[in-house]
A and B are shown apart, each in its own frame.
Chain A
Amino acid sequence: MDQVSNNKLDYLISRKDNLYEIIIGLEVHAQVTSESKLFSSSATKFGAEPNTQVSLVDAAFPGMLPVINEFCIKQAIKTGIGLKAKINKRSIFDRKNYFYADLPQGYQISQFKDPIVGEGKVILDMPNGQKEVGIERLHLEQDAGKSIHDLDPQNTLVDLNRSGVALMEIVSKPDLRSPDEVSAYIKKLRSIMRYLGTCDGNMQEGSLRADVNVSVRIKGSKNLGTRCEIKNVNSIKFMQMAIEYEANRQVDLIEEGKSIDQETRLFDTKKNETRSMRSKEDAHDYRYFPDPDLLPLEVSEEFIDNIKKDIPELPDDKKRRFIDEFKLSPYEATILVSDIDTAKYFEEVVTKMGKNKDIKLAVNWITGELFAVLNSKNLEISQSPVSSKNFAILINLIKNGTISGKIAKTVFELMIEGDKDPQKIVEENGLKQQSDPKALEALIDKIINDNREKAVEYKQGKVKLFGFFVGQAMKASSGKANPQLINELLKKKL
């Protein structure tokens, strides 16, 4: 088993004689997978016509009151369990007050002092070992609407479809030290939530975005530097770019003898730089106070236990099982479990291969050929053009020598069009491997006869020519000859 190791691949910034390390903490906003909003029954579908999924509550009409959506509570607790976190049986919804055109109530209902989920952890698989990242808390809150500034020359337009959609804010401890760790953390978080079905993790649609807190300090120092918060970054690549820029900016300031202002910054994706949005002095005073429209949220032990019963096997456990049960390497297991659908596909293939199976071969084919096809076609594995059943048959055909690995690639290409049964493809195209020793012997005899001079040269020590004979044999059999048998026979005959 791999272990939490001392990081030997530290990400450090060096200036003159100084080495700086980066301290990163993330506040991830994950949209809860739910048919309806956190406090209203409006739909939450992405991409609907503007203002078509808005209730009177979402638009903050006079006298409208929030009513908690129990499903969203379950989803948050489920996520908390997935993060191995403490579930708080009593939590409180607070109002975070500020004015903005896309915030109809004039406040966001969030959780401030008493979140629904407390401390937890996430394990990252880094190239040099595992790393544990602490979770500070997870709380539920409403999303705001969307201000659209570029559709009208004079006016800002507001779309309230998103207003009131449930978000989980997952706050990490400042445990991350490099852009790569941030990438691994986001991917792991997303993987866990997809396993749980609590957030689809779709960053293009804004279902997952993060505020990134960055500070730097001389390596080895115990004190934390002044941090800057980069708001609302919506792709892993941008997070990494923003961190690199921001860390270097801070190091430069320190090297120049200047101080860092605690502030909120924006990442400009076009210029690849962060810039100041507001300083600490200009920070909003949100005037948090418990929302008097909502009672404190109390959940029973039984309620939590019932949710626990629904928790599927999570990536870390699955990985351990894959290593134990299928003798996979940690590396292979990590790849297969990172996405729940990949893991599911793999396990289906394993089951469908039956008794005499070659799991290693299946893994190689999934991570090699299948991933390549999915990549080139920009498909998820759940949309794979080759079903797990036919994929299993293909692996078995290779394993039992019916076709060679090379022919298998041809067969696989034919399978992609309409998920054809590889067995039939082999039969219809006569691609079955020739493994009859007598037929192959005759074939080899003929080749040696036709190339007598080369055979002599080989015998005189020009061993490289062996390849030539193999090639001739494969060519003569249109690639169908069993390469292993050809090798054996050639060695004997030459």
Chain B
Amino acid sequence: MSDITKQTLSDLIKNIKAKKLSSEEVTKDFIQRSEKSNKLNAYITEDFSNALQKAKMFDQKPNFNLKLPGIPIAVKDLFCTKDVMTTAGSKILNNFIPTYESTVTQNIWNEGGILLGKLNCDEFAMGSSNETSYFGNVQNPINENLVPGGSSGGSASAVCAQLTPITIGTDTGGSIRQPASFTGTVGLKPTYGSCSRYGIVAFASSLDQAGPMAQNVKDCALLQEIISTHDTKDSTSIDFKRSQYSQDLNKNIKGKKIGIPKEYRVDSMPKEIEDLWQKGIDYVKDCGAEIINISLPHTKYALPTYYIVAPAEASSNLARYDGVKYGFRAKGENLIDMYEKTRSEGFGAEVQRRIMIGTYVLSSGYYDAYYLKAQKVRKLIKNDFDEAYKKVDAILTPSTPSSAFKIGEKKDDPVSMYLNDIFTVPVNLAGLPGISIPAGHDSKGYPLGLQIIGKAFDEQNILNIAYAMEDKINFKNKISDWWIK
């Protein structure tokens, strides 16, 4: 195998533009490597022959002005792709082929990207280990039987194993940043409203946000530049001036004020994480930034708030999967019986758990105590950040409270599983951008990530900080290709 798949996105683009590589060559190599990597179970649907076809077409009439000239890209199976099965990792959509394309993926194809296939994820993006997928769990390329994180586990695994040069995921409570952290890759959750939600299978509408996942900050910035557009088909899409994230990327963060929130020093935080955080603080200081201790007093309420708001919205968003119009339908004696059987057989345990939680917290008599209260707390959490941003330009925290864990280790303990998102969830609740970058390894040699949280619409700033830190950290992922041998 050639070293094409080892190249960064920027190198691939450079080589294609210089006609040193054709789109077909590049696509072929990623397909070959993907085919050899079945053991990772990163793909739900492969679209390889179409991809090759499109690559050949690109080479016949190449347009080098595009930002992703003939670059093959696999995407999370939560994005609806025209004529290609879209499952959201669920049995209930096992046979669903959209007739339409999500805005985010369309933006990628418009810039010359070519769909390789659809990547595995937790069912309806509900999970932190990719173990809730109807299509089986995904292996972390870092080590056998290690989870890649979730819900964008297939995406993280695919980028880490170089089955795709870059990818996109979605992040409702940490679903981009946590798997990025677990796989030693870069993942950005943009500001809520930055990327259109049109055509993305909804989990929790007020929290869901698509974002780029890549092997380095620059690739991540380029993809963000492409996927972030104002879209009138999504009423919550925001029309703000987007910068040219990759072109405006720079390492000069001198004088930037970086906040360190004391509330993120949670009990039982492993020493390795503490040390990593301290290392991160040293790196940004090295870059000439100033460290300021801050307080985000409502942090401890973020997780319970999230586990009311997200399931509430999910319980309603998932009502449409009723067996009537599309997707899986079980036979039933009558309408109600059909509903019950379809949804009992079509949804997995975690999805059912969250639908029940969500239905409960919205029920009359409980609404005020749970949903309404959670919305109020959510506002307080946002206010915390607003206060902090009066003093600082960005906030530095660990991405996760631990490194990747073993497959099956937390499967039967939902609360311990939910705790994975303790550092990422507040960012979604406040609608802010957050990026996870690989920052070191734990004693087992597993990657650990740091998170930089920005002001709303200030993606450029956190990308710059990440870019500067990346340079200092000089992280190298240890990939042995164990799944191929």
Binding site for B on A (CB under 8 A): 56, 59-68, 95, 97, 99-101, 104-107, 156, 158, 285, 287-289, 292-295
A60 contacts B199, C-beta separation under 8 Å? no
30 inter-chain pairs at a CB distance below 8 angstroms, sorted by A residue, are A59-B325, A61-B100, A62-B80, A62-B96, A62-B98, A62-B201, A62-B202, A62-B320, A63-B80, A63-B102, A63-B199, A63-B200, A65-B197, A65-B233, A67-B234, A95-B316, A97-B319, A97-B362, A99-B319, A104-B320, A104-B325, A105-B320, A285-B363, A285-B364, A287-B359, A287-B362, A293-B235, A293-B236, A295-B235, A295-B236
> Smallest CB-CB separation from B336: which chain A residue?
A99
Also in contact, A62 and B93, with CB within 8 A (given A101-B335, A104-B325): yes
> Smallest CB-CB separation from A160: which chain B residue?
B325
- Residue from A63, A68, A97, A292 whose CB has the most chain B CB atoms within 10 Å: A63
B210 to chain A: closest CB distance in Å? 11
Bound: A364/B11 CA distance, A: 89
Give chain B residues whose Cβ lies under 8 Å from the Cβ of A107: 316, 319
Bound: A64/B201 CA distance, A: 8
Bound: A104/B362 CA distance, A: 20
A65 contacts B322, C-beta separation under 8 Å? no
B98 contacts A293, C-beta separation under 8 Å? no
- Residue from A65, A97, A158 whose CB has the most chain B CB atoms within 10 Å: A65
Interface flag for B86 (CB, 8 Å): yes
Give chain A residues whose Cβ lies under 8 Å from the Cβ of B234: 65, 67
Give chain B residues whose Cβ lies under 8 Å from the Cβ of A95: 316
Interface size class of B (residues with CB under 8 A): 35 or more
Bound: A158/B80 CA distance, A: 25
B324 contacts A293, C-beta separation under 8 Å? no
Bound: A367/B348 CA distance, A: 69
B324 contacts A104, C-beta separation under 8 Å? yes
Binding site for A on B (CB under 8 A): 79-80, 86, 88, 93, 96, 98-100, 102, 197-202, 204-206, 232-236, 312-313, 315-316, 318-320, 322, 324-326, 335, 339, 359, 362-364, 367, 371
Give chain A residues whose Cβ lies under 8 Å from the Cβ of B339: 99
Bound: A295/B335 CA distance, A: 33
A289 contacts B316, C-beta separation under 8 Å? yes
Partner pick for A289 among B232, B236, B312, B320, CB 8 A cutoff: B312
Give chain B residues whose Cβ lies under 8 Å from the Cβ of A61: 80, 98, 100, 325-326
Bound: A293/B198 CA distance, A: 10
Bound: A282/B316 CA distance, A: 20
Question: Helix, strand, loop or mixed for chain B's interface?
Answer: loop
Give chain B residues whose Cβ lies under 8 Å from the Cβ of A158: 324
Bound: A472/B319 CA distance, A: 84
> Smallest CB-CB separation from B339: which chain A residue?
A99
Bound: A294/B98 CA distance, A: 23
B107 to chain A: closest CB distance in Å? 15
B484 to chain A: closest CB distance in Å? 34
> Smallest CB-CB separation from B208: which chain A residue?
A292
Bound: A61/B97 CA distance, A: 11
A287 contacts B235, C-beta separation under 8 Å? no
Give chain A residues whose Cβ lies under 8 Å from the Cβ of B335: 100-101, 156
A289 contacts B367, C-beta separation under 8 Å? yes
B86 contacts A62, C-beta separation under 8 Å? yes
Bound: A277/B199 CA distance, A: 39
A97 contacts B316, C-beta separation under 8 Å? yes
Give chain A residues whose Cβ lies under 8 Å from the Cβ of B315: 97, 287
Give chain B residues whose Cβ lies under 8 Å from the Cβ of A156: 335
A62 contacts B319, C-beta separation under 8 Å? no
Please provide the 9 A-B residue pairs with the shortest distance between their CB atoms, ordered closest to farther. A106-B319, A292-B205, A287-B362, A292-B206, A63-B199, A60-B320, A62-B201, A63-B80, A106-B320
B198 contacts A65, C-beta separation under 8 Å? yes
B325 contacts A289, C-beta separation under 8 Å? no
B233 contacts A292, C-beta separation under 8 Å? no
Give chain A residues whose Cβ lies under 8 Å from the Cβ of B99: 56
B91 to chain A: closest CB distance in Å? 14
> Smallest CB-CB separation from B86: which chain A residue?
A62
A253 to chain B: closest CB distance in Å? 28
A103 to chain B: closest CB distance in Å? 9
B306 to chain A: closest CB distance in Å? 14
B338 to chain A: closest CB distance in Å? 9
B115 to chain A: closest CB distance in Å? 16
B429 to chain A: closest CB distance in Å? 13
- Residue from B102, B234, B235, B367 whose CB has the most chain A CB atoms within 10 Å: B235
Partner pick for A105 among B80, B319, B362, CB 8 A cutoff: B319
Bound: A101/B96 CA distance, A: 19
Give chain A residues whose Cβ lies under 8 Å from the Cβ of B325: 59-61, 104
A25 to chain B: closest CB distance in Å? 22
Also in contact, A101 and B324, with CB within 8 A (given A68-B235, A293-B235): yes
- Residue from A59, A62, A64, A104 whose CB has the most chain B CB atoms within 10 Å: A62
Give chain A residues whose Cβ lies under 8 Å from the Cβ of B322: 99, 101, 106
> Smallest CB-CB separation from B363: which chain A residue?
A285
